[in-house]
Amino acid sequence: MSLLETGFVSLGCVLALIALRVPIGIVLLTVSFGGVWAGLGFNVAWGLSRAIPFEIIANWSFSAVPMFLLMGFVASNCGLTRGMFAALRILLRRLPGGLACSGVAASAMFAAASGSSLATAGAMSRIAIPEMLRAGYDKSLAAGSIAAAGTLGSLIPPSLLMIIFAIFAQVSVGKLFLAGFLPGLLSTFMYMLLIVVRCRLRPDLAPAIDFEPTREDKIAAIRDVWPLPLLVLGVLGGIFAGIMTPTEAGAVGASLALLIALFRRSLTLDVLKKSIRDTVFGTSTIFVIVIGASLFTSFMGMSGVPRAISSVMAEIAGDNVVLLVLMIAVVYILMGMFIDSIGIMLLTLPIFFPLLQQANVDMIWFGIIVIKLLEIGLVTPPVGLNCYVMASALKGTISLQRIFQGASYFILMDIVTLVLLVLFPAISLYLPSLMR
C-alpha cells in the first residue's frame, strides 16, 4: 500500500472512530501514530511522537488558553454576569421578546469575558431562561435564543477557537480578534432581529411583561452592572490599544476577574477550587486534541492526502473563490453535526490550507468564516454541544428536543449572516486593516 493510500485509509479510520464516539484526541493520536508506522516505519512514528507534543505545548501563544478559561470560569462561577442581564432587562423591556433579547445581548457581553461558547451557554441558561419561563415565554424560544447566543463565545473576542486557529494558520491573534468584533455584533443583531420579528408576528411566544422599574431598580442595576464591562474593557482594550499581547491579556483578564470577584466578596475558597479544577480539565482536553491534531497534520502532509483532495476541489472550483468557500462550508456544516468544534477545525485545516493558499484567500477572513461555520455546528443536531450543555444545566426543565427545535430558527439567521460575511469581506477585514 502506498503512503497516499495509507493516508486515505487513516482518514477513513478517523471518521469511523469519531462516529463511534471515541474521543477525538485519542483518535487522532492513535491513528496518526499507526499511519506513520505503517507508511514510514516505527522509528519515524516514535520520533514524531516524542518531538511534536513538546514543540506544540511549548508554544508561548498556547499559554493564553488556560488564562482565558480561568477568566471565564471565575466570571461564571462568581456571578459576574447577573448584573448585566438585569440591566439589559430594564433597557430592552419595551421590545417584543425583550427578555430573550436581553439574554442574547448579555450572552454577547459574557462571550467577551469568557472566550468559550460552552461556558457562555451554560452560564446564561441558568440566569436568563428561568426569568423567561416565569414570564410565560415559549420554551423553544427561550432555550433556542440562549443556545444560539452562546455560540457568540466563539466569534466575539477573546475566543479560544480564534487562538487555536491563529496558531495553526500562522496569522496574528490580535488581528483575528479584531476581525471577529464586527461579525460578532452582526450576529448579535441578527439574533435579536429574529426574536423581535417572531414575537411581533406571534405575541403568544413572549407575553408582554407589566414591569416598570422604579428608580431604586435602575440604581441597583447600574450599581451591579460594572464588573463585566470592566473586565471586557481591561482585556480587549489592552489588546486593541497595543498595550498587551493576547497572551498577556489572558493573564491580566484572569487576574482582573479574581480581583473583581474578591472585591464583590463572591470569591470563596470552594468557587476558586472549582474554577481552577474546570480550567485544568478544559486545558488538558484542548491540549490532548491539539497534540493529536498536530501529529495528524504532520502525517497528512507526509502522505499527500491534502494535495490530492485540494487538487480535486481546485479543479471543481476553478478560480471561483466563493464556490470554493461554499464547498468548504458544506463540509464544515456536515461535520459539525457529529464532531466538536476544535476537532473539526484541526482535522480539516491541514487538508484545506494548501488549496486556500493556492487561491490567495485571506486567512484572517477565512478564519472568521470557519468560526461562524463552527458556531452553526454547536447548535446542530445530533451533536450540538451547546444544546446538551443547556439541557444539563436546566436539569429537565426543557427537553433536549425543544432546545434543538428553538435553535433551528437561529441557524437560519446564522446562514444569512454567513452569506453576508462571504459577500462582504470588509465586515471582517476593516478593523484588522487599521492595525499596524
Note the pTM of the prediction, 2 decimals: 0.80
pLDDT tens digits for range 93-109: 788 888 889 889 888 88
Burial class (CB in 10 A: 0-12, 13-18, 19+), 121: buried
> What is the distance between the alpha carbons of residues 233 and 303, in angstroms, rounded to a whole number?
46
> Which parts of the chain sit beneath pLDDT 50?
none
Question: Which residue matches cell numbers 470557519?
Answer: 370
Average pLDDT, the chain: 81
Check: CB of residue 383 under 8 Å from CB of residue 338.
Answer: yes
* Cis? peptide before 158, omega within 30° of 0: yes
Angle at 180 between CA 174 and CA 181, to 5 degrees: 95
Query: Per the structure block, which three cell numbers stand in for 325?
Result: 468557500
Burial class (CB in 10 A: 0-12, 13-18, 19+), 58: exposed
> Which pLDDT score, from 0 to 100, does residue 211 have?
65
> Which pLDDT score, from 0 to 100, does residue 403 have?
85
Nearest C-alpha neighbor of 250 from the set 149, 121, 116:
116
Question: Which residue matches cell numbers 425583550?
Answer: 98
> What is the distance between the alpha carbons of residues 16 and 261, in angstroms, rounded to a whole number?
45
> What is the distance between the alpha carbons of residues 50 and 38, in angstroms, rounded to a whole number?
17
CA distances from 327 to 216, 264, 312, 314, 367 (A): 55, 50, 12, 10, 15
> Which pLDDT score, from 0 to 100, does residue 385 have?
72
> Which pLDDT score, from 0 to 100, does residue 199 have?
92
> What is the distance between the alpha carbons of residues 242 and 197, in angstroms, rounded to a whole number?
40
> Which pLDDT score, from 0 to 100, does residue 365 have?
92
> Which pLDDT score, from 0 to 100, does residue 191 have?
94
Percent of the chain residues past pLDDT 70, beyond the cut: 94
Residue 207: helix, strand or coil by DSSP? Answer: coil
Q: DSSP character for 395?
A: T
Angle at 353 between CA 348 and CA 359, to 5 degrees: 135
Helices vs. strands in the chain: H and E counts, helices first? 22, 0
